[in-house]
Amino acid sequence: MSRTILMLPGDGIGPEIVAEAEKVLHKINDQFNLGLSFESGLVGGAAIDEADTPLPDETLEKATRADAILLGAVGGPQWDSLPMAKRPEKGLLGLRSNLELFANLRPAILYPQLASASSLKPEVVSGLDIMIVRELTGGIYFGQPRGVRELESGERQGYNTYAYTESEIRRIGRVAFEAAQQRGKKLCSVDKANVLEVTVLWREIMNDLRREYPDVELSHMYVDNAAMQLVRAPKQFDVIVTGNMFGDILSDEAAMLTGSIGMLPSASLNSEKQGMYEPCHGSAPDIAGQGIANPLATILSAAMMLRYSLNEEKAAEAIEAAVSKVLDQGLRTADIMSEGAKKVSTREMGEAVLAAL
């Protein structure tokens, strides 16, 4: 059995952090005899520069064939003035939609070793462990019609469409209910059902699904209240499920509650468990090329990949244990540095994880 991993470093700090995760994957491959083989490809700004498109056909083909993808990050100021269809983000969105990676899992976990990094009071966030399940291939991100049109009055109007079908809602709902079953058995569905019709349907389908998962306690919350409750008392949540746009906002807010977004991985899965794995943070062009970025979110994304797409739980746990060990050793990249700790570079952090494996 040979399984292929596609590495897509992308832009900014992407290549630096993916390089460290790749070393970790190579070592774990040997240690656990996983039979992984590795390919690489271009996406985002790197692909625009090389091939004049953020998602070259070759990359899409490799991605389709791969068992899993490890992505660094895309985007940077040099591509910001390009028309929407040619921007780095379209590479990412194109991969999500072409591979139907509809289920985005974003854990927001506070590492006890990094508790002081949070901007929230320790008692509010200590032990925080939330899983956000975000729908990733529908909603307003992909809704048609969209664009800018000229009205009869002569002025322009920009417009987008926020739409979900029953089946789109049901399949992400199932992923969320199942995640809740394996965790604290509490699921909070976030919508704006007092204003938006599309989320009235969302709520109805979530209520329907409840019958299939009688062991899970389902609640509903409006998105504005959810944004508040995440700040007020985030530990009230176990699993949150929501649409693409609300999920984009709430998962970033939740990630930041931990104060160490450089630590947070994410997974985007389709119904065959093929997946794309990437850190929650962006391409950080301001620190790119300096060798100071934190590779741990990417390394932990590799662990998620082993767990969800390759069914190698032991190997995943080995990586997570190694990361925990280097944190215990007091090693910190600049973004999570605190007094008394030892500041290390991207490469030193990667080497330390290798050594801890």
Question: Which residues are marked as active site?
Answer: 141, 192, 224, 248, 252
Cβ neighbour number for residue 219 with a 10 Å cutoff: 13
Q: In what order do the strands lie in the sheet with 68-73?
A: 36-40, 3-10, 68-73, 275-279, 265-269, 103-109, 129-135, 239-242, 186-191, 217-222
Q: What distance in Å separates the CA atoms of residue 118 and residue 252, rounded to the nearest whole number?
A: 14
Q: Which residues are annotated as a binding site for substrate?
A: 96, 106, 134, 224
Q: What distance in Å separates the CA atoms of residue 60 and residue 66, rounded to the nearest whole number?
A: 10
Site size toward its own copies, by CB under 8 A = 62
User: DSSP string covering 79-114, please?
Assistant: GTTS-GGGSHHHHHHHHHHHTT--EEEEEEE--GGG
Would you count residue 248 as binding ligand IPM (CB under 6 A)?
yes
Q: What is the DSSP letter of 116?
A: G
Would you count residue 286 as binding ligand IPM (CB under 6 A)?
no
240: left (phi over 0), alpha (psi -120 to 50) or beta: beta
Would you count residue 129 as binding ligand IPM (CB under 6 A)?
no
Structure tokens of 70?
A: 């490890």
Please pick, from the candidates 19, 60, 249, 337, the single residue that binds its own copies as defined by CB under 8 A.
249
Q: Which residues are annotated as a binding site for NAD(+)?
A: 76-89, 282-294
Would you count residue 253 as binding ligand IPM (CB under 6 A)?
no
Give the N- to C-terminal CA distance of the chain in Å, as an integer: 24
Q: Amino acid identity, residue 3?
A: R
| Cβ at position 252, least distance to ligand IPM in Å | 7
Q: What distance in Å separates the CA atoms of residue 156 and residue 98, rounded to the nearest whole number?
A: 31
Would you count residue 135 as binding ligand IPM (CB under 6 A)?
no
Would you count residue 212 as binding ligand IPM (CB under 6 A)?
no
Q: What distance in Å separates the CA atoms of residue 156 and residue 15, rounded to the nearest whole number?
A: 40
CA atoms within 13 A on the CB side of 355: 11
104-163 positions binding its own copies, by CB under 8 A:
119-121, 124, 140-141, 143, 146-148, 151, 155-163
With respect to ligand IPM, which residue has the nearer C-beta, 61 or 224? 224
Please pick, from the candidates 33, 167, 182, 194, the single residue that binds ligand IPM as defined by CB under 6 A.
194
Contact predicate 59/47, CB 8 Å? yes
67-96 positions binding its own copies, by CB under 8 A:
75, 84, 87, 89, 93
Kindly state the helix (H) or strand (E) to which residue 268 belongs, with its residue range: strand 265-269
CB under 5 to 8 A by kind: which of ligand IPM, its own copies, none does 223 bind? its own copies
| Cβ at position 250, least distance to its own copies in Å | 7
Would you count residue 224 as binding its own copies (CB under 8 A)?
yes
Q: What is the DSSP letter of 236?
A: G
Residues recorded for the chain: 357
Would you count residue 80 as binding ligand IPM (CB under 6 A)?
no
| Cβ at position 73, least distance to ligand IPM in Å | 8
| Cβ at position 161, least distance to ligand IPM in Å | 17
Residue with tokens 């506070």: 110
- List contacts with ligand IPM (CB under 6 A): 89, 92-93, 194-195, 224, 248
- List contacts with its own copies (CB under 8 A): 75, 84, 87, 89, 93, 119-121, 124, 140-141, 143, 146-148, 151, 155-167, 192, 194-202, 223-225, 227-233, 245-246, 248-253, 255-257, 259, 261
